[in-house]
Structure 1
Amino acid sequence: MTEIQAKAATPSGTGRALRADARRNRERVLAAAQEAFAAEGISVPLDEIARRAGVGPGTVYRHFPTKEALFHAAMLDRVERMVAHARTLADAADPGRAFFDYLDFMVVEAGVKRDLAEAVGGHESLENPGPTVELLAAIDVLLRRAQTAGAARSDIDIDDLMRILKGGFLATHTTGANADQRHRTFTVLFDGLRPR
């Protein structure tokens, strides 16, 4: 178990591991929160998240005393899952395909999930920047491997890539782009990442 996973398995500030039933409830609340934040943004009430999770409001408040704490935990969980997925692609036989498949995965994840777009866009940030650093490092590995393989242009770095992605996420979310428009926007952006 990683340090991040260990922290996620303990209630805030106690340092004790959660019982299995409490851990399951916490995971249900996180999944419901991610779905609710994706559909409605951070304004969704905690009671609605409890209803979606099939638990009482007290269960939500026991694990997450504020909506901001729940939002940050949901974002942390999402970022950790994205890091894990990027790491599974780090040794792929086709580095170019792995890189562009991962970028497609990010777009699909963000397509209907405003929480990711808000986080990448800087409206909300994780209290613990460690997972975000891990995510950038994992994406950087994919980028560098694709560049070495000649599948991605060599004159960009991870900072350039993140600016491009942020711009695409913000542009498609703030204009209310539909799925086809998002797909076209990111197809053009990703074509620009390929070598000339």
Structure 2
Amino acid sequence: MTFQKILPGHPTAALVFFLLLFISLAAGAQVPPGVRAEQRELLSALGLTSPARRIEATDFTAPLLSGGETTLSEHRPNLVILNFWATWCPPCRIEKPALERLHREFRGEGVRILSVNMQETPLRVRRYVSETGTTFPVVMDSSGRISATYGIRSIPTSYLISSEGTVLAVAQGAFDWSSPRVIETFREVLALEEAHGR
């Protein structure tokens, strides 16, 4: 069967078909497994835990402290740090300045932070955010649904999610996200993304 038979009466139909096919394939292109393995190796060297197999990060939609809603997948093709925390958690407070510095370093270009507050009131969280000078988005997990989905047993816990929505690494406990070594590693991870058509 020819494309002329599929799309009769349109001389340029075959060309249009191939262009649409190319765009579709490009949009769905995945980073090669070898590149993901290299990224996981870089992140493991920082002390982060990387899964041995491909794990999809469960998508969700939830309200933001600032108003409106956000969906995890809308932040692709950026790398996303999904950080679970609470105001009563001392290690979370210790970690917050490093996350803020990382946020300011990348300014949402290539790396984004979604800070998921676990089952606290907006009033309490808003006061905490004001005290700590937090400027990255805060997701309100009032029901605990998101934290349950991600199996959170202790906080802070952070998931580093790839541009495709897979889990690259996990940090349990307070982590120094803004150290020079971490910043350099993140730039290497992003460079690998760019080199393979992120």
TM range (shorter): under 0.3
TM-score after normalising by structure 1: 0.22
TM-score after normalising by structure 2: 0.22
More helix by share: 1
Q: Which has the higher contact order (CA 8 A, sep 6+)?
A: 2
More strand by share: 2
